[in-house]
Chain A
Amino acid sequence: EVQLVQSGAEVKKPGESLKISCKGSGYSFTSYWIGWVRQMPGKGLEWMGIIYPGDSDTRYSPSFQGQVTISADKSISTAYLQWSSLKASDTAMYYCARGFYSSSLGYYFDYWGQGTLVTVSS
């Protein structure tokens, strides 16, 4: 069974750093992309970026380029999303999702993690 299990909820102060995780199981972790999606309170889904753990090829949405860092450790089947200096506007639910890509299909996400709620407040 394919599973993506994300790390638990976080409460941080503005300016602090944070790294959240997404552990994949039940499939070949290095053969699929892992994408990250933000959902601010009461709002829609926003694509942040995606990584291919097999070779660490990483792509970012222009809206999030330079704001976050996506990485992966294939030895432990885990992808990460990190911030160096959080802002109150980073308060949101963050989802990881297994991504499939081909030149003909583009990207899509067939399995999702349960989400990690990040709250940034002074």
Chain B
Amino acid sequence: QVQLQESGPGLVKPSQTLSLTCTVSGGSISSGSYYWSWIRQPAGKGLEWIGRIYTSGSTNYNPSLKSRVTISVDTSKNQFSLKLSSVTAADTAVYYCASWFRRDGAFDIWGQGTMVTVSS
């Protein structure tokens, strides 16, 4: 059973770069059956898809964040990562990593989420 776990700083200063890592356990990130995604959720609000990466390194990003987002994969560590630059208070949210199962065409596994606050 694949499990995902987010990790990273819970507090980031405005204008700095938010960096999070998602560790995949119970399966290989190199599996061609999955895309790996980041989604965020401001407190009390809905879900926003940030972007996805395939094991090959191919990415797709939400245009609303594209100029500030980088998602990368480290197959040797079975991890994928999110970098969001020039953050503001509007980037304060719970950040989830999730696996997209290609056969089902849906997010089948989600991490528990990690709260990131942007504040000085």
Q: Do A and B bind each other?
A: no
**Chain B positions near chain A (C-beta within 8 angstroms):** none
